[in-house]
Amino acid sequence: VTKGREVLSKAMLDKASQLTPQFGIELIDILIRQIRYSDDLTESVYNRMIKERRQIAEFYRSYGEGKKAEWMGKLDNEKRSVLSGAYEKSETIKGTADAEATRIYSEAYGDNAEFFEFWRSIESYKKVLPQFRKTLTTDMDYFKYLYDMNGKK
């Protein structure tokens, strides 16, 4: 706009300077204070400005989305790493506990085989009987410890 005004001012000064001497007037400078554009041109300029601003806004939005995706990827990797470590640790603890339980059962079985068999039967009753919905006969070998701790009928 500024260069356009300068060119327009110079062209007007040159043209007017040729016409004014016959009236005894010498023009030194012409200054344009206001330019009124047509409504179509004004609307076109505004639309172009709006389009440019929207493009800039879209650039920043997509840049932000890219950064978000980058951070989410990093967080996802870190989460997987932490969960993997926690799972590994939990499995190690479970394995150690199972080994200890096996050792204890082995000692108990080795020291008193009858008590160990009795104990396993009682634990089995606790798990099976609450879920069992049919009539059972007590003559089954499975229930031998219900009558006698030594498993004799």
**CA of residue 52 relative to chain centroid, distance:** 31
What is the reported pLDDT for 93? 95
Q: What is the pLDDT of residues 33-61, one digit of tens each?
A: 887 888 998 899 999 999 999 999 999 99
What is the reported pLDDT for 149? 58
pLDDT surpasses 80 at 130: no
What is the reported pLDDT for 123? 78
What residues contact residue 142 under an 8 Å CB cut-off, 6+ apart? 121, 124
What residues contact residue 115 under an 8 Å CB cut-off, 6+ apart? 108
Q: Which of 144, 99, 95 is nearest to 124 (CA)?
A: 144
Range picked from 19-23, 33-37, 131-135 for highest mean pLDDT: 19-23
What is the reported pLDDT for 83? 95
What is the reported pLDDT for 114? 73
Over residues 6-13, the mean pLDDT reads 88
Q: Which of 1, 3, 32, 4 is nearest to 16 (CA)?
A: 32
Q: Tell me, what DSSP letter sits at residue 151?
A: S
Over residues 3-21, the mean pLDDT reads 88
Q: Do residues 122 and 149 touch, judged by C-beta distance below 8 A?
A: no
What is the reported pLDDT for 119? 73
